[in-house]
């Protein structure tokens, strides 16, 4: 469990999807994991918890034979 900086927490609260990559990088959460950021109660605001039982499927662009050179 890691706590976000105040600046990063404010950015995340304003637009979670936009700052997802920055939060993952700061907390070392891989793309295959889900995480939550606490916003309440105030003494726990900014703490990141990784949900260990769930695995996130990351889809990559399918490469067709016509795309290869």
C-alpha pair distances (Å), 68 with each of 21, 34, 42, 57: 28, 33, 52, 25
Tens of pLDDT along the chain (69 residues)?
Answer: 899 999 999 999 999 999 999 999 999 998 888 899 999 999 999 999 998 766 666 666 666 666 555
Q: What is the pLDDT of residue 52?
A: 74
Q: What is the pLDDT of residue 31?
A: 87
Taking the complete model, does pTM exceed 0.75, yes or no? no
Q: What is the pLDDT of residue 58?
A: 64
Which SS3 state, helix, strand or coil, does residue 54 take? strand
């Amino acid at each position: 469990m890691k706590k976000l900086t105040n600046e990063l927490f404010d950015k995340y609260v304003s637009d979670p999807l936009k700052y997802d990559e920055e939060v993952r990088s700061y907390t070392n959460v891989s793309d295959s994991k889900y995480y939550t950021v606490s916003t309440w109660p105030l003494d726990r605001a900014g703490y990141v918890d990784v949900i260990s039982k769930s695995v996130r499927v990351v889809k990559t662009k399918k490469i067709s034979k016509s795309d290869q050179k």
